Amino acid sequence: MTLVDNAETRSSETSDLDFDAIVIGAGMSGMYQLYRLRELGLKVRVLEAGTGVGGTWYWNRYPGARFDSESYSYGYSFSQEVLDEWDWQECFSGQPEIERYCNFVADKFDLRSDIQFSARVASSHFNEDANCWDITLADGTRYRTRYLVAAIGLLSAPTMPRFEGIEDFKGQWCHTGLWPKEGLDFSGKRVAVVGTGASGVQAIQEISKTAEHLTVFQRRPNWCTPLHNRPIPKEEMEEIRAGYPEMFTLCQQTAACFVHTIDPRGTFEVTEEERMEFWEGRYAGQGFGIWQGNFRDMLTDREANRLMSEFVADKIRKRVKDPETAEMLIPKDHGFGTRRVPQETHYYEVYNKPNVKLVSMLEHPIERITETGIRTSEQDYEFDVIIYATGFDAVTGTFDRIDFRGTGGQRLKERWTGGPKTFLGLMVDGFPNMFMIMGPHAALGNNPRSIEFNVEWVRGLIGYMEERKLAVAEASAEAVADWNAFVHMKGEGLLVNEVDSWMTGINMNVEGKQTRTIVRYSGTAPEYRAKCNEVAADGYQELKFS
Ligand code: NAP
């Protein structure tokens, strides 16, 4: 740690602060950060673009939106009261219940009194003269704060395809991540869904139930596996509650904070019979068990991955009646689990319905959107509604949309050209007193578990600074370079990093995001937490306090 004794200058230079801390975003990260920073006696304001709390679970209100993690493992763990009072209704709860949960937490801790809604941050500039951040909202309002926490999510900048004529369409259209609060009624309508990632798969299952006709436009198929959702009876919820301590401990031990544990055996260390029995069990089991609880080499050994992919391909062939459609739904360009696995409930059976048609955009690309529908290279389709389930400018995209400028006026977006570089996913050199929750190169997975850890780490550092009256903390360039090298080293040999997806920084709809980069930390969460804890325990040697 480098320390300049500046207790006096700190208060006099920044007497015109509006807040001690500004948190951008009132999703699960921002809500919890507010709660923790209040504990330090700080004056905190959360700036939220929406009109309610929940972030992801506020915006993504498309039909079928639900957890892919077990509900009880996804809630906050920090408050015994919340754990005692909240009963999850389903093993994998739907968006309405999740939004209710976020509101329940906000009400319990009176979070709303420090949250400003409909406040979209346009820019955040570090002011080197006053050692603080100058924030400007889209409506021109300005705030000054000492600490800035970007709790803006890693999948919260929706992206539309670059089709010609999108605005020409005379029917209704929207993106799954910007779903209208009043909802959309599909009954008696001809509906198109473009995109078959996790959002598209969830939406397609539901929309097919009420639409008169549904046409799914699929570019590259994904490997989807059964969610096996069900309600949680009251008595079972009591058992879950009694088991919370053990369950949260387990989440701290697993690689990506899920309740599923990787099988320590290699794919070829068991007989073929044992292997098939194991995979059948996983396919019949709940949630991500088949992805996060598979053989240890499933995502590193090509042959193991090929066999697993064949296993799932056979399931698809058995579930989809028309063999040609089944083949269209089987990925040919990537192996199982190398992209995020969408979780499904009768998804494949949707394609057996007479009112559903699958169009492969690999064979017949969309040429343009017309006033009445969609024109592919093959034919014109007429629709009443078009849904774009086309994903997000992930990980760095939410940062790119705010004009973050650090010391010397440097732009964060430019610093991250060619891939993000951070210290622990929490800080960036040249951006003093700015912290990120779930930033690039932080541990992801079952996100609330990582959110709680990141928030508490930031609280720890700010508490450390407050105690010592330190004005500014900044990650050193060496610390950022070291962390970057470590993250890249951890990504070596993983099949997931050889495939195009948001997890490798690819978004064909966004300028400059066509080259694979390491945007995620691919080590284990326990290792990540150990590194972060070590930094704090050693008095933040990697930071410059000045
Ligand atoms: P996504 O996985 O990026 O999928 C986007 C889909 O749109 C892909 O099928 C993509 O095809 C297609 N697409 C995009 N642009 C296109 C274009 N110009 N032309 C044709 N097709 C286009 O996005 P997502 O489904 O919203 O999911 C993103 C992430 O959000 C997930 O991976 C997951 O982490 C998270 N999520 C979580 C949950 C949950 O936990 N319950 C639910 C939904 C989403 P290509 O594959 O060919 O690019």
**Ligand 1 atom 35 nearest Cα:** 198
Closest residue by Cα to atom 6, ligand 1, is 195
For 229-280, give the DSSP string.
--B--HHHHHHHHHTHHHHHHHHHHSTTSSS---BSS-GGGS-HHHHHHHHH
* Cβ–Cβ < 8 Å for 208, 66: no
pLDDT at 4: 39
Quote the ligand 1 centre to 198 CA distance (angstroms): 6
**Distance between CA 201 and CA 205 in Å, rounded?**
6
Pairing state between β 366-369 and 373-376: antiparallel
Give dist(CA 396, CA 422) in Å, integer. 11
Going by CA atoms, what residue is nearest to atom 36 of ligand 1? 198
Look at ligand 1, atom 38, and give the residue with the nearest C-alpha: 198
Cβ pair 441, 424 in contact under 8 A: yes
As beta bridge partners, residue 234 has: none
Tell me the whole-structure pTM to 2 decimals: 0.96
**Local structure of 4: helix, strand or coil:** coil
Query: Which residues are CB-contacts of 109 (< 8 A; sequence separation ≥ 6)?
Result: 35
Question: Residues with Cβ within 6 A of ligand 1?
Answer: 66-68, 155, 161, 194-200, 202, 219-220, 340, 361, 389-392, 502, 508-509
Q: Whose CA is nearest to atom 45 of ligand 1?
A: 220
- Is 160-223+321-391 the same fold as 2-51+117-157+394-545? yes
Q: In the block, which residue shows the tokens 């070590």?
A: 534
Distance CA 55, CA 155 (A): 10
Buried b (16+ CB within 10 A) or exposed e, 226-239: bbbbeebeeeebee
Q: What is the spatial distance between Cα 124 and Cα 434, in angstroms, rounded to a whole number?
A: 10
Q: Which two tokens stand for residue 420?
A: 């993000």
Under CATH, which architecture does the 160-223+321-391 domain have?
3-Layer(bba) Sandwich (3.50)
Q: Locate the domains of the chain by residue range.
A: 2-51+117-157+394-545, 160-223+321-391
Q: Distance between alpha carbon 3 and the CA centroid of its chain, in Å? A: 36
Whole-number Å distance between alpha carbons of 294 and 439? 27
Q: Are 367 and 377 in contact (CB under 8 A)?
A: yes
What the block records as the tokens of 15 is: 């007497």
Structure tokens at 63: 């039909």
Rg over alpha carbons for the chain, rounded to the nearest Å, is 24
Task: Extract the tokens encoding 492.
Answer: 């070596």
**Distance (Å) from CA 353 to ligand 1 centroid:** 23
- Superfamily per CATH, domain 2-51+117-157+394-545: FAD/NAD(P)-binding domain (3.50.50.60)
Q: What is the pLDDT of residue 546?
A: 85
d(CA 37, CA 34): 5
- Report the pLDDT value the prediction gives residue 10, as an integer from 0 to 100: 55
What distance in angstroms lies between residue 216's CA and the mean position of ligand 1's atoms?
Answer: 13
Output the residue whose Cα is nearest ligand 1's atom 32: 340
- Distance, in Å, from the CA atom of 528 to the CA atom of 174, rounded to the nearest integer, reads 38
Span from the CA of 16 to the centroid of ligand 1 (angstroms): 44
| Alpha-carbon distance values, 18 to 44, 45, 134, 142, 432 (Å) | 9, 9, 10, 9, 18
Ligand 1: nearest atom to the Cα of 158? 26
CB atoms within 10 A of CB 98: 24
Distance 392 CA to ligand 1 centre (A): 7
Cβ-proximal residues to 389 (8 Å cutoff; 6+ apart), any chain: 62, 175, 176, 193, 194, 195, 196, 197, 199, 200, 203, 204
Looking from the CA of residue 163, the nearest atom of ligand 1 is: 18
Q: What is the mean pLDDT of each run of 10 residues along the chain (546 residues)?
A: 43 73 98 98 98 98 97 98 98 98 98 98 97 98 98 97 97 98 97 98 98 98 98 98 98 97 97 98 97 97 98 98 98 98 98 98 97 98 98 97 98 96 98 98 95 98 97 98 98 95 94 93 96 98 95
Other CB atoms within a 10 A radius of the CB of residue 271 amount to: 9
Compute, in angstroms, the gap from residue 407 CA to the centroid of ligand 1.
35
DSSP E strand stretches across 88-131: 115-116, 121-127
Closest CA to 153 of 31, 20, 19: 31
- Six token digits for residue 454: 């990141």
Atom of ligand 1 nearest to the CA of 503: 32
**Residue 99 phi/psi, 5° resolution?**
-65, -40
Ligand 1 atom at minimal distance to the Cα of residue 361: 20
Residue 20, CA atoms < 13 Å, CB-side half-sphere = 20
Nearest CA to ligand 1 atom 23: 391
In angstroms, what is the span from residue 200 Cα to ligand 1's centroid?
Answer: 7
Amino acid identity, position 438: M
Q: So what's the pLDDT on residue 14?
A: 53
Contact 114, 34 (CB under 8 A): yes
**What's the rounded Cα separation, in Å, for the pair 422 and 411?**
14
Question: Using CA atoms, how far apart are residues 175 and 159, in angstroms rounded to an integer?
Answer: 8
> How many Å lie between the centroid of ligand 1 and the Cα of residue 194?
10
